[in-house]
């Protein structure tokens, strides 16, 4: 059978269950593809055969038992693709007693989230990875639990929260299990290859991105262009080619205009980038595309400077804490929770909805302004996680998770580069 992974052998396992008036049919398809000989792909389709709606809240796929860590001579190591906490290890020796829900493709505590939907486990002999291969972000869980002498258990879980009408079907994301030698690298390489087989492309990078990079953050949030200019001889001495224009070159999260107290406006910021280019340096403005500061969310966009946030003039303090113009003019562009309130992301910011065309078009125009008009060499993003599901009725989403799934599409709208290596995205 031809699939998105090529020609594969398919094993279909039908089953049915009933309880009174409730009748459910499951068709489990298992694809074995020559291009990925160590991998099996699982898809389940559920059909309501009953006469009344059937509520489906939770679906578990590819449940597995793994040898307890304390019974492995060399221990059991794991890669956990979840994005839970800033600085949390993704690779570690699995403790004898450990439990993690591992939510993927969704905002979690402290407004982080997203992740790589793969968990891997390996010892000195063999490795086993579980995840899904959908090319779009998909809200799921890949939990792991170990209990001393008991086996460790893991599975892929979705929570659709839907009512199937009689005759309706529900199809799960395509889950996979792959076995390998060595550590997690081979499992992630297989996952990457399966995405590429479905047409997912990765941004071409420049070798110069492996060279030293310097941040204006070294001078704190209140850095001034003169401080950067005075450091140019030292950059050249150290072989630094890339400069990240970091906190806080902009006025408001969401508007992303250069601070007038630093640059005198947009023209001064363009002048700074041009000056850096004249000295052979490339610039990467820090950008958090969907973030929008709003005064109704406490300390929206504000956090402490690494060396203590310096005193700012009153007019600057007011600017840095004011609601962004885009939020005042287009509040309907923002993501809302089920209660109609703004759904926060990192730094307690509101979020533009990447699945709402006017908001997405605005973000694309912002990117073009930075790259084409200001001639920046790319963007630096280190607080860009996923976004919450969007319940804004003005957006008419097919699903609240449209915002999550279409976030990746935003980054495919990069401006056309002036030269082959002009545009770089970190």
Q: What is the pLDDT of residue 320?
A: 78
- Structure-block tokens of residue 39: 């991998």
The length of the chain is 426
Domain tally, the chain:
2
Say which residues have a Cβ less than 8 Å from residue 220's Cβ, sequence separation at least 6: 305, 306, 307, 310
Residues 265 and 283 in one domain: yes
Q: Which residue has the tokens 């941004």?
A: 203
Angle between helices 225-238 and 266-278 (to 10 degrees): 20
pLDDT in tens, the chain (426 residues): 899 999 999 999 999 999 988 999 999 999 999 999 999 999 999 999 999 999 999 999 999 888 766 666 667 899 999 988 777 889 999 888 889 999 998 888 766 788 899 999 998 788 999 999 999 888 899 999 987 666 788 999 999 888 999 999 999 999 999 999 999 999 999 999 999 999 988 877 777 778 889 999 888 878 899 999 999 999 999 999 999 998 889 999 999 999 988 899 899 999 999 999 999 999 999 999 999 999 999 888 876 544 445 566 777 777 778 999 999 999 999 999 999 999 999 888 999 999 999 999 999 999 999 999 999 998 888 888 889 999 999 999 988 889 988 988 887 765 544 433 444 555
Domain boundary among 171, 197, 223: 197
Q: Identify whether 237 is part of a domain.
A: yes
What is the C-alpha separation between 329 and 333, in angstroms, rounded? Answer: 9
Q: What is the pLDDT of residue 341?
A: 96
Q: Identify whether 278 is part of a domain.
A: yes
Residues 58 and 146 in one domain: yes
Q: Identify whether 80 is part of a domain.
A: yes
Q: What is the pLDDT of residue 419?
A: 37
Which DSSP letter does residue 342 get?
B
Q: Identify whether 122 is part of a domain.
A: yes
ω into residue 248 within 30 of 0, thus cis? yes
Residues 153 and 224 in one domain: no
Q: Identify whether 107 is part of a domain.
A: yes
Domain boundary among 197, 219, 248: 197
Residues 244 and 223 in one domain: yes
Residues 184 and 248 in one domain: no
Q: What is the pLDDT of residue 420?
A: 33
Q: Identify whether 251 is part of a domain.
A: yes
Q: Which residues pair with 104 in a beta bridge?
A: 140
What secondary structure does DSSP assign to 75-134, as a single string?
A: --EEEE----STT--SEEEPPSEEEE--EESSB-GGG-B---SEEEEE-SS-EEEEEE--
Residues 118 and 220 in one domain: no
To which H or E segment does residue 34 belong?
A: none
To which H or E segment does residue 319 belong?
A: helix 314-321
Residues 384 and 312 in one domain: yes
Residues 185 and 229 in one domain: no
Residues 54 and 165 in one domain: yes
Residues 68 and 177 in one domain: yes
Q: Are 118 and 167 in contact (CB under 8 A)?
A: no
Q: CATH number, domain at 15? A: 2.70.98.60
Whole-structure pTM value: 0.85
Which structural domain, as residue segments, surrounds residue 367? Answer: 207-425
Residues 83 and 214 in one domain: no
Domain boundary among 168, 197, 226: 197
Q: Identify whether 202 is part of a domain.
A: no
Q: Identify whether 219 is part of a domain.
A: yes
Q: Are 246 and 283 in contact (CB under 8 A)?
A: no
What is the C-alpha separation between 339 and 261, in angstroms, rounded? Answer: 39
What is the C-alpha separation between 180 and 127, in angstroms, rounded? Answer: 5
Residues 275 and 385 in one domain: yes
Cβ atoms within 10 Å of 186's Cβ, excluding its own: 18
Q: CATH number, domain at 271? A: 3.20.20.70
């Amino acid at each position: 059978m031809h699939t998105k992974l090529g020609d594969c052998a398919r094993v279909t396992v039908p089953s049915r269950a009933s309880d009174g008036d409730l009748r459910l049919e499951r068709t489990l398809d298992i694809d074995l593809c020559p291009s990925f000989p160590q991998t099996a792909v699982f898809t389940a389709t559920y059909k309501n055969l009953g006469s009344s709606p059937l509520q489906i809240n939770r679906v578990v796929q590819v449940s597995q038992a793994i040898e307890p860590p304390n019974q492995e001579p060399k221990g059991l190591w794991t890669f956990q693709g979840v994005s839970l906490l800033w600085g949390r290890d993704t690779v570690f020796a699995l403790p004898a007693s450990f439990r993690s829900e591992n939510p993927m493709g969704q905002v979690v505590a402290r407004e982080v989230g997203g992740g790589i939907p793969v968990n891997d486990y390996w010892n000195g002999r063999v490795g086993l990875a579980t995840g899904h291969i959908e090319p779009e972000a998909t809200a799921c869980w890949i939990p792991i639990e170990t209990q001393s002498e008991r086996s460790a258990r893991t599975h892929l879980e979705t929570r659709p929260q839907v009512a199937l009408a009689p005759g309706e079907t529900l199809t799960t994301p395509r889950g996979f299990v792959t076995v390998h030698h060595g550590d997690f690298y081979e499992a992630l390489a297989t996952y990457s290859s399966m995405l590429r087989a479905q047409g997912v492309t990765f941004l071409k990078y420049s070798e110069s991105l492996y060279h030293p990079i310097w941040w204006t953050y070294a001078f704190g949030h209140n850095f001034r262009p003169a401080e950067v200019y005075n450091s140019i001889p030292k950059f050249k001495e150290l072989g630094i080619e890339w400069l990240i224009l970091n906190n806080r070159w902009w006025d408001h999260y969401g508007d992303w205009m250069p601070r007038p107290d630093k640059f005198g406006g947009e023209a001064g910021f363009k002048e700074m980038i041009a000056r850096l280019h004249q000295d052979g340096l490339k610039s990467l403005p820090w950008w958090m595309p969907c973030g929008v500061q709003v005064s109704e969310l406490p300390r929206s966009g504000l956090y402490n400077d690494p060396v203590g946030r310096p005193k700012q003039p009153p007019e600057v303090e007011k600017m840095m804490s004011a609601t962004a113009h885009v939020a005042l003019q287009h509040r309907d562009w923002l993501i809302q929770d089920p209660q109609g309130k703004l759904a926060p992301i990192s730094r307690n910011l509101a979020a533009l909805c990447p699945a709402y065309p006017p908001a997405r078009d605005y973000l694309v125009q912002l990117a073009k302004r930075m790259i084409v008009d200001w001639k920046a060499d790319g963007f630096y993003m280190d607080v860009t996680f996923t976004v919450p599901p969007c319940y804004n009725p003005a957006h008419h989403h097919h699903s609240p998770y449209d915002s999550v799934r279409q976030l990746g599409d935003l980054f495919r709208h990069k401006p056309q580069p002036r030269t082959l290596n002009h545009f770089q995205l970190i």
